[in-house]
């Protein structure tokens, strides 16, 4: 990795250059929540000033840029008694500015599954390779717990990452594309003072966390406590709406649906995001449901996130952004559930 | 142009013009490309189950498609959907693939209406297989319930093609009632030609039924199993697994010589969609064939 320092003025010039030549997305306020807090989303932007780079966290995660809620995987074109399959991967170069560290780390986890795992997905790779990511650090919100998950620091999966030093950005340059683009603007090598300020900023971020969640023993504890009554307690609250999975940056479970076009001459095979908390997730033909109860489904989501799955080399996939907790209609949030799970055993001792 | 991102067009890569090889899991391929097949024969086994013979039309794809007993494929009916089906033919049969399909949902319903000559698509093979080589020199006990006989037909073919390599082979088969027994026309061949001890039982007999009545575990009373020299393969509805595996475990058949083939909902077959997850593994990549030790370690497996 190469490190440079850029003034915010030059940075604006640089980003405007990217915006003028490419489809660019950045954080923008789209609405105001009931409690008066702004709701941010990544939206297409046409100039630097449209973006609000000091935003907290986008409502939806970055995942949807790579795994859209609904996408056509292939089409079948019918002729008399035959058909032909048509497959095309959509590639539109694009820039996303102001991505938070948790979202970048979440993408790295998705990379493990869709790029490095078995059966690499060309749909995902086409999008990933054509996206230029500019990350940006931020002070955590009250309920963020990415530090507990070890996802505070980005190591890979982005093109450029900016650490805010007041009037300048400390840049981590992670791709030759980014390095070449930066040649068009004025950057300097970090001085000793910059390095010190960088470290101060990192320490400030670390000190600002108000929420910690201990997930270190969860891979085993989730097995041991598989029949724990706490699942019934939390499962009972769950509405099976799937909101948590929709906003989660690493929930990638999906379904495939086919439908015949109105012309009756072709059909579409579509992938759509699904959630393991939705009732029919594990239902098979004939009506048998392998996870018929609410607690079984909610538990399964925690199992996936904190126990880890084979394709992720059994790594926990939660990045601690707490979008699921913040947006849950029934008030279920991972900190409470995990604390409950840990407490239950502690009480009995 | 100073800031223009170069377009990396994956559609121009060489893999786009090649048929996918689903046995090569690690390379990039068109993961949704189906091999086009023609239905060349339809055999009605029962009112609910039909056996379909599919021939892959493209000779290159036909050559690429090779599977091992126990693996499954994703069968695509364009416009309707895709279903995971275990392969019921010999792995040596390069001419056609046999799939035994029960009318159970939207896709299989339309498939049951299909006529000879219709074109469908397949992707695969996927999943793990029975360790046929490891079983050489041992007795084999195959236990099937209902439609569970379909995935066992591939190992049965394998055994009959390599009959000299195995010791005593028995097949225990139980169904709900006599009319739902599958592949009845092959029983005589299995017994007389392949020297397989076939024991059948039904839950509920009918007027013409002269065979055994009861649960499949009743059949264990009629036989002696040598736990030191036997491999077992179990396939059937979830409730059957429980009783059969508990019995085999109680006579101390080692867990690593007891294999089960599990069923789950599947949408991709490639370890991506997570629909077939059992505990922390995928039925489609790490299964459907699991040894009993793995099953014991997986939450909610049986």
The pLDDT tens digits of the residues spanning A273-311 come to 999 899 888 888 878 888 888 888 998 888 888 887 655
Sign, Cα dihedral of B150, B155, B156, B157: positive
What average pLDDT does range A331-340 have in this prediction?
Answer: 90
User: Stretch A250-269: mean pLDDT, rounded?
Assistant: 93
Number of domains in chain A: 2
Closest to A310 (Cβ–Cβ): which among B29, B282, B300?
B282
Q: Chains A, B: CB contacts under 8 A, how many?
A: 176
| B228: pLDDT strictly greater than 70 | yes
In a domain? residue A266: yes
Nearest chain A residue (CA) to B15: A122
Which domain-ending residue is among A164, A185, A207? A207
A144 in a structural domain: yes
pLDDT at B178 over 70: yes
Specify whether A293 is located in the same domain as A240.
yes
Q: How close does chain A come to B74, measured CA to CA in Å?
A: 12
Residue A186 lies in a domain: yes
Residue of chain B minimizing CA distance to A89: B11
Asked if B265 and A281 come within 8 Å (Cβ–Cβ), the reply is: yes
Average pLDDT over all residues of chain A: 90
Query: Which of residues A207, A227, A255 is at a domain's end?
Result: A207
> Would the pLDDT of A348 be above 70?
no
CA-based torsion, B56, A89, B126, A293: positive or negative: negative
Q: Best of A260, A285, A299 to disrupt the B interface by mutation (most B CBs within 10 Å)?
A: A285
Say if the Cβ atoms of A282 and B264 lie within 8 Å: yes
- The answer to whether residue A79 is domain-embedded is no
Distance CA B157, CA B154 (A): 5
For CATH 2.40.30.10, list the domain ranges present in chain B: 10-126
In this complex, is the C-beta atom of A313 within 8 Å of any C-beta atom belonging to chain B? Answer: no
Q: Over 70: is that where the pLDDT of B235 sits?
A: yes
Are the Cβ atoms of B8 and A129 closer than 8 angstroms? yes
A160-164 and A168-173 strand pairing? antiparallel
Distance from CA of B155 to the nearest CA of A (A): 25
Residues A246 and A223 in one domain: yes
| Domain extent for A135 | 2-69+90-207
The two beta strands, A2-7 and A23-32, are unpaired
pLDDT for the residue numbered A345: 63
Place of tokens 């498609």: B65
Q: Which of residues 56-115 of B touch A (CB under 8 A)?
A: 78-83, 102, 104-105, 108
Q: For the ranges A236-240, A263-267, B200-204, B272-276, which has the lowest average pLDDT?
A: B272-276
Residues of chain A contacting B285 with CB distance shorter than 8 Å: 118, 310-311
Does residue A55 share a domain with residue A114?
yes
Q: How many helices (H) and strands (E) does chain B have?
A: 6, 15
One domain for residues A194 and A234 = no
Torsion angles phi and psi, residue A129, rounded to 5? -70, -15
Same domain, A197 and A248: no
**Which runs of consecutive H residues, i.e. helices, occur in B65-219?**
106-113, 149-161, 187-192
Query: Contact A290/B300, CB-based, under 8 Å?
Result: yes
Average pLDDT of the residues in B180-193: 94
Judge if A106 and A64 occupy the same domain. yes
Domain's final residue, options A157, A173, A207: A207
Residue entry with tokens 């390379």: B27
How far is Cα of residue B242 from the mean position of the Cα atoms in its chain?
Answer: 19
Residue among B30, B79, B281 whose CB faces A260 most closely: B79
Mean pLDDT of A256-262: 93
**Interface predicted TM-score (ipTM) over 0.85:** yes
- The CATH T-level fold of domain B139-297 is Rossmann fold (3.40.50)
pLDDT of residue A310: 55
One domain, residues A198 and A322: no
Q: Specify if A102 maps to a domain.
A: yes
All residues of chain B having their beta carbon less than 8 Å from the beta carbon of residue A120 are 26-28, 31
pLDDT tens digits, residue range B241-282?
A: 889 999 999 999 999 999 999 888 899 889 888 888 887 788
- Give the Cα separation of B208 and A265 in Å (integer): 50
Residues B181, B200: contact at Cβ < 8 Å? Answer: yes
Residues A10 and A126 in one domain: yes
Residues A279 and A337 in one domain: yes
CATH 3.40.50.80 intervals, chain B: 139-297
Dihedral sign computed on CA atoms, order B281, A69, A74, A282: positive
Q: How far apart are CA B280 and CA B298, in angstroms?
A: 7
Residues of chain B positioned with their CB less than 8 A from the CB of A132: 5
Residues A167 and A234 occupy one common structural domain: no
Q: Distance from B105 to chain A by nearest Cα, in Å?
A: 5
- Give the pLDDT confidence score for residue A282 in this predicted structure: 86
CA distance B13 to B137: 48
Mean pLDDT of B292-300: 82
pLDDT of residue A9 exceeding 80: yes
| A207: CB partners within 8 A, 6+ apart | none
The answer to whether residues A130 and A240 belong to one domain is no
- Residues A119, A338: Cα–Cα separation, whole Å: 33
Whether A312 has a pLDDT exceeding 60, the answer reads no
Q: Which residue has the higher pLDDT, B300 or B289?
A: B289
Task: Assess B179–A contact: CB distance below 8 Å, yes or no.
Answer: no
DSSP per position, A270-287: EEEE--TTSGGGGB-TTS
A349 — pLDDT class (breaks 50, 70, 90): very low
Looking at chain A from residue 103 to 162, which residues have their Cβ under 8 Å from any Cβ of chain B?
A: 113-114, 117-122, 125-126, 129-130, 132
Indicate whether A17 and A136 sit together in one domain. yes
Please answer yes or no on whether A253 and B265 come within 8 Å at the CB atom: no
- Displacement of CA B41 from its chain's centroid (Å): 19
3-class DSSP state of B78:
coil
CATH architecture of B10-126: Beta Barrel (2.40)
The sheet that has B81-86: what strands, in order across it? B81-86, B72-77, B119-126, B35-44, B49-56, B97-102
């Amino acid at each position: 990795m190469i490190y440079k320092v850029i003034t915010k003025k030059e940075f604006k010039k640089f980003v405007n250059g990217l915006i003028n030549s490419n489809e660019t997305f950045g954080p923008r306020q789209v609405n105001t929540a009931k409690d008066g807090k702004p709701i941010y989303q990544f939206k297409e932007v046409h100039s630097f000033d449209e973006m609000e780079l000091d935003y907290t966290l986008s409502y939806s995660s970055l995942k949807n840029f790579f795994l859209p809620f609904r996408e056509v995987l292939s089409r079948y074109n019918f002729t008399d008694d035959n058909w032909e399959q048509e497959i095309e991967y959509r590639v539109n170069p694009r820039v996303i500015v102001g991505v938070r560290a948790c979202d970048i780390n979440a993408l790295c986890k998705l990379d493990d599954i869709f790029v490095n795992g078995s059966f690499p997905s060309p749909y995902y790779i086409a999008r990933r390779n054509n996206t230029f990511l500019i990350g940006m650090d931020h002070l955590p919100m009250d309920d963020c717990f990415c530090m507990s998950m070890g996802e505070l620091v980005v190591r890979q999966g982005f093109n450029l990452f900016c650490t805010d030093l007041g009037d300048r950005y400390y840049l981590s340059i992670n791709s030759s594309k980014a390095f070449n683009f930066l040649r068009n603007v004025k950057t300097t090598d970090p001085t000793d003072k910059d390095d010190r300020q960088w470290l101060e900023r990192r320490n400030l971020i670390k000190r600002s966390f108000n929420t910690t969640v201990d997930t270190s023993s969860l891979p085993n504890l989730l097995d041991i406590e598989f029949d724990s009554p706490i699942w019934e307690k939390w499962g009972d609250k769950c509405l099976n709406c799937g909101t948590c999975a929709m906003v989660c940056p690493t929930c990638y479970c999906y379904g495939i649906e086919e439908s015949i076009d109105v012309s009756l001459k072709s059909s579409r095979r579509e992938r759509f995001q699904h959630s393991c908390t939705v009732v029919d997730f594990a239902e098979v033909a004939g009506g048998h449901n392998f996870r018929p109860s609410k607690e079984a489904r909610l538990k399964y989501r925690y199992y996936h996130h904190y126990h880890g799955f084979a394709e992720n080399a059994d790594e926990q996939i939660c990045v601690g952004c707490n979008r699921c907790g913040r947006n849950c209609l029934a008030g279920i949030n991972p900190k409470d559930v995990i604390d409950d799970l840990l407490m239950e055993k502690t009480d009995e001792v | 142009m100073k800031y223009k991102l170069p377009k990396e067009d994956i559609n121009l890569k060489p893999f786009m013009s090649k048929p996918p090889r689903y046995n090569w899991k690690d390379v990039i391929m068109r993961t949704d490309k189906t091999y086009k097949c023609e239905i060349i024969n339809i055999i009605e086994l029962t009112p609910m189950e039909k056996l379909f013979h599919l021939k892959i039309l493209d000779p290159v794809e036909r050559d690429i498609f090779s599977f091992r007993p126990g693996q499954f494929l994703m069968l695509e009916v364009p416009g309707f959907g895709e279903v995971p089906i275990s392969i019921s033919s010999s792995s040596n049969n390069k001419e056609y693939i046999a799939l035994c399909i029960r009318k159970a949902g939207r896709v299989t319903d339309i498939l049951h209406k299909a006529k000879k000559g219709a074109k469908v698509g397949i992707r695969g093979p996927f999943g793990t297989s029975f360790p046929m080589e490891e079983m050489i020199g041992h007795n084999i006990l195959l236990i099937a319930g209902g439609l569970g006989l379909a995935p066992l037909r591939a190992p049965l073919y394998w055994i009959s093609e390599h009959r000299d390599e195995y010791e005593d082979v028995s097949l225990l088969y139980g169904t709900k009632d006599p009319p739902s027994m599958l592949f009845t026309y092959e029983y005589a061949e299995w017994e007389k030609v392949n020297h397989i001890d076939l024991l059948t039982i039904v839950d509920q007999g009918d007027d013409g039924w002269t065979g055994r009545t009861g649960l499949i575990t009743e059949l264990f009373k009629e036989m002696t199993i040598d736990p030191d020299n036997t491999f077992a393969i179990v396939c059937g509805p979830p409730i059957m697994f429980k009783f059969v595996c508990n019995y085999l475990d109680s006579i101390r058949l080692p867990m690593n010589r007891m294999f089960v083939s599990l069923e789950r909902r599947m949408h991709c077959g490639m370890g991506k969609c997570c629909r077939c997850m059992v505990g922390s593994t995928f039925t489609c990549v790490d299964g459907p064939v699991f040894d009993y030790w793995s099953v014991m370690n997986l939450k909610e497996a049986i």
